Amino acid sequence: MSGQITNILLVGVGGQGILLASEVLSETVMLAGYDVKKSEIHGMSQRGGSVVSHVRYGKEVFSPIVPEGEGDILFGFELMETCRSLSLLKPGGTVIANDLRISPPSILMGQETYPEGLAERIKEQFPDFLLVDGQRLALEAGNPRTANTVLLGAVSKRLDIDEAYWLQALEKMVPAKALNVNMKAFLLGRSL
């Protein structure tokens, strides 16, 4: 039903830089001339809860949230959160996930264990799956906190949008003193 709309989901844990990544993505597609809507829940999620950000772009976007089962790309900052949101993705959709595990309270307290084999199970259901070592590449870029930008770079390659718009959006949205390292992180991700 969504016609020419591209649906992207960014999921992870509060504090991982998901909102900045989705802002840069939205700015990029606006610069490229598309209508765009983005939606996420603030509030409770800031206290270490799950975060799901929806970005939709195309000629004219109505719903600010991605209809269930219509996501084109799921862009996961943490493995368990990536898994939790798979049902938003369309069959045959793309998954780009950070190879990172962050334990929720029940696991920290030793009441549950972190599920094993998540990446394998994602790949079984969604063969178009890219696992990114965001932490290592962020260190390579020069700042461990740029994993979100590395991942954004990896996603950017899957979208038919001119590189110039991405760089322009990064320049606008990222604070000046962190721009160089983020540019480097973005290009590292884009080269994957």
Partner 1 sequence: MKEILSGNEAIARGAYEAGCRVACAYPGTPSTEILENTVNYTEINSSWAPNEKVALEVAIGASFGGGRALCTMKHVGVNVAADPLFTLSYTGVNGGLVLVAADDPEMHSSQNEQDSRNYAKFAKVPMLEPADSQECKEFTRLAFELSEKYDTPVMLRTCTRISHSKSVVELGERVTGLPEPKLVKNAPKLVMLPGNARVRHPLVEERLLKLSADGATLPYNRMELRDTAIGIITAGVCYNYVREVLPQASTLKLGMVHPLPRDMIREFAATVDKLYIVEELDPFIEEQVKAMGIAAIGKEILPICGELTPGRLRAAFGLPEIASATPEKLPGRPPNMCPGCPHRGVFYTLNQLKAYVTGDIGCYTLGFMPPLSAMDTCICMGASIGMATGVTKVVSPEEQKRVVAVIGDSTFLHTGINGLMDMVYNQSPATVIILDNRITAMTGRQDNPASGFTLMDDPTHRIDFPLLCKALGVKHIRVINPFDLDETRRVLQEEMNRPEPSVIITDRPCVLVKREGVFQKGAVYAVSAEACTGCRACLKIGCPAIEWRPAGDGSKKGKAYIDPLLCTGCDVCRQLCKFGAIGEAKQ
According to the binding rule CB under 8 A, does residue 164 interact with partner 1? Answer: no
Q: Which of 17, 20, 99, 107 binds partner 1 (CB under 8 A)?
A: 107
The one segment of 22-30, 127-135, 148-156, 180-188 that binds partner 1 by CB under 8 A = 22-30
Exactly one of 75, 90, 96, 149 binds partner 1 (CB under 8 A); that residue is 90
Among residues 9, 18, 36, 161, which is the contact residue for partner 1, using CB under 8 A? 36
| Cα distance between the two ends of the chain | 32
Residue 143 binds to partner 1 (criterion: CB under 8 A): no
Q: What are phi and psi of 12, to 5 degrees?
A: 170, -150
Consecutive H or E run containing 88: none
Q: What are phi and psi of 156, to 5 degrees?
A: -60, -30
Q: Which is nearer to partner 1, 48 or 142 (CB)?
A: 48
Are 47 and 68 a contacting pair, CB within 8 Å?
Answer: no
Candidates 24-32, 133-141, 153-161, 177-185; binding stretch for partner 1 (CB under 8 A): 24-32
Beta strands in 24-88 (DSSP E): 35-40, 50-58, 71-76
Residue 68 within binding range of partner 1, rule CB under 8 A: yes
Cα(145)–Cα(135) distance, integer angstroms: 8
> H helices within 32-162, ranges in order?
79-84, 105-108, 118-125, 134-141, 147-156
Question: Does position 35 bind partner 1 by CB under 8 A?
Answer: yes
User: Distance between CA atoms of 70 and 184, rounded to whole angstroms?
Assistant: 32
All residues at 6 or more sequence positions from 30 whose CB lies less than 8 Å from its CB, including other chains:
36, 57
With contacts defined by CB under 8 A, how many residues of the chain interact with partner 1? Answer: 58
Q: How far is the CB of 154 from partner 1 (least distance, A)?
A: 21
Of residues 9, 32, 89, 141, which one binds partner 1 by CB under 8 A? 89
Query: What is the closest distance, in whole angstroms, from the C-beta atom of residue 191 to partner 1 in the complex?
Result: 27
Residue numbers of the site for partner 1 (CB under 8 A)? 1-2, 13-14, 23, 26-27, 30, 35-50, 61-65, 67-70, 80-81, 83-84, 86-91, 103-110, 112-115, 121, 125-126
